[in-house]
């Protein structure tokens, strides 16, 4: 496989799932990714743990969009403190891949019957950062396609995937698909 | 929503058991039920899966398992340089069997995935008493051999 690589399995996701379940108010506090025009993520729910500083957008409006999208620097959001278990997982992954710089960290939820439309992650951020997925919850019937390859990522697995080729997700399972997305600059040339 | 996907044995087998799909399949097509009870060799399937010698394409409708197409992948004893796929079994629940093109898509996805793995020839089978020959010929398969069986009795 050229677009997917499984790093490990057996990650205990229960502590993080529990605290997510206990904090439903954290979902969709930031909807920039899921509501902008033509977004492929319109059926997704997000918890931003670490992301670009949106105050640039708030201060400069649309004129600040390029600066906002291009900057590699991400900041911690309050949810990262609330979901401390996510920080532990992120730090462990950083250590595993010898990460040099931590980018965005998000938890995303795709409900049964929903999909993420086919799209390519482009721009400086996607080129600079490697994208990793830690599967917090999934079930057979979730299809993750990148290019001409499809995988089912099981709960507790961690995968690298090539987000600069066209990819899409279909959740034809009976369970919510919860992934933690972690962007890490490794400088080691996965891409 | 109906989707077709590759799955590993342990990802779909428990659900197939829970939904009694294998029993339904067996009831519908098996011969000699009195002499030969249904008892799948789970360890053998797992071993083949782990060795990359098993391909399972499942069909799911709104998340629920409604069909499967299973091939064993290996070189032929007589043609050891050629990878072949030997059909193990295929099944669609009656509720989706009546819908157009589900069986066609299931076969198509299975063939596409086998081709990606380097399979050159697919050996497909069908029961005489529940024949899918017309469908198989429509899918491009040609009659090649007739298989005969015999129950041995003392």
Best interface-test mutation with B: which of A115, A141, A154 has the largest number of B CBs within 10 A? A141
Q: Which residues contact B42 (CB under 8 A, 6 or more apart)?
A: B9, B13
pLDDT over 70 (residue A109): yes
SS3 B21: helix
Mention the CATH class of domain B2-138.
Answer: alpha beta
> How distant is the Cα of A128 from the closest Cα of chain B, in angstroms?
31
**Domains within chain A, CATH numbers bracketed:** 4-185 (2.60.120.330)
CB contact under 8 Å between A140 and B1, yes or no, is no
CB contact under 8 Å between A113 and B64, yes or no, is no
Decide which of A191 and B130 is more confident.
Answer: B130
Which chain A residues contact residue B3 at CB under 8 A? 141, 143, 170, 172
pLDDT at residue A67 in the model:
67
Reference A136, options A175, A163, A168, A100; nearest CA is A175
Q: What is the pLDDT of residues B43-96, one digit of tens each?
A: 999 999 999 999 999 999 999 999 999 999 999 999 999 999 999 999 999 999
* CA end-to-end span of chain A: 13
pLDDT at residue A189 in the model:
67
Q: Which of B3, B8, B116 sits opposite A141 (nearest CB)?
A: B3
pLDDT at residue B129 in the model:
92
pLDDT over 70 (residue A22): yes
Q: Is B77 left (phi over 0), alpha (psi -120 to 50) or beta?
A: alpha
Angle at which helices B21-29 and B9-18 cross, to 10°: 70
Best interface-test mutation with A: which of B52, B63, B67, B105 has the largest number of A CBs within 10 A? B63
CB contact under 8 Å between B63 and A113, yes or no, is yes
ipTM computed for the complex:
0.75
Structure-token match 């620097």, residue found: A73
Confidence of residue A60 (pLDDT cuts 50, 70, 90): confident
**Angstrom distances, CA of residue B22 to CA of B10, B43, B63, B92:** 15, 16, 18, 11
Q: What is the pLDDT of residues A85-97, one digit of tens each?
A: 999 999 999 999 9
Best interface-test mutation with B: which of A4, A115, A172, A177 has the largest number of B CBs within 10 A? A172
CB contact under 8 Å between B64 and A154, yes or no, is no
- pTM of the full predicted structure? 0.85
DSSP A1-25: --SEEEEE-----HHHHHHHHT-GG
Q: Is A5 left (phi over 0), alpha (psi -120 to 50) or beta?
A: beta
């Amino acid at each position: 496989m050229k677009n997917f690589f499984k790093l490990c399995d057996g990650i205990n996701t229960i502590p993080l799932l529990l605290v997510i379940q206990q904090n439903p108010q954290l979902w969709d506090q930031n909807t920039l990714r899921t509501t902008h025009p033509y977004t492929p993520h319109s059926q997704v729910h997000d918890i931003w743990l670490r992301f670009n500083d949106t105050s640039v957008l708030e201060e400069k409006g649309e004129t600040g969009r390029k600066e906002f999208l291009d900057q590699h620097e991400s900041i911690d959001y309050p949810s990262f403190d609330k979901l401390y278990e996510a920080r532990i997982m992120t730090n462990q992954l950083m250590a595993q891949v010898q990460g040099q710089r931590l980018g965005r960290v998000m938890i995303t939820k795709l409900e049964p019957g929903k999909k993420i439309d086919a799209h390519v992650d482009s721009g400086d951020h996607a080129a600079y950062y490697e994208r990793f997925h830690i599967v917090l919850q999934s079930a057979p019937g979730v299809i993750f396609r990148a290019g001409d390859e499809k995988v089912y990522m099981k709960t507790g697995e961690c995968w690298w995937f090539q987000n600069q080729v066209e990819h899409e997700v279909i959740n034809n399972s009976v369970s919510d698909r919860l992934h933690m997305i972690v962007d890490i600059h490794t400088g080691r040339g996965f891409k | 929503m109906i989707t077709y996907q590759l799955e590993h044995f342990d990802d779909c087998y428990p659900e197939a058991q829970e939904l009694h799909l294998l029993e339904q399949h067996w009831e519908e097509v098996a011969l000699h039920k009195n002499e030969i009870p249904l008892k799948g060799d789970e360890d053998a399937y797992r071993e083949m899966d782990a060795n990359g010698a098993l391909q399972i394409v499942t069909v799911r409708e709104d998340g629920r398992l409604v069909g499967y197409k299973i091939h064993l992948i290996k070189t032929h004893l007589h043609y050891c340089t050629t990878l072949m796929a030997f059909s193990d079994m295929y099944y669609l629940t009656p509720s989706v069997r009546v819908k157009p093109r589900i069986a066609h898509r299931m076969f198509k996805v299975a063939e596409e995935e086998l081709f990606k793995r380097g399979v050159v020839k697919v050996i497909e089978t069908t029961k005489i008493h529940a024949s899918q020959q017309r469908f198989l010929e429509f899918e491009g398969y040609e009659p090649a051999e007739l298989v005969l069986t015999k129950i041995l009795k003392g």
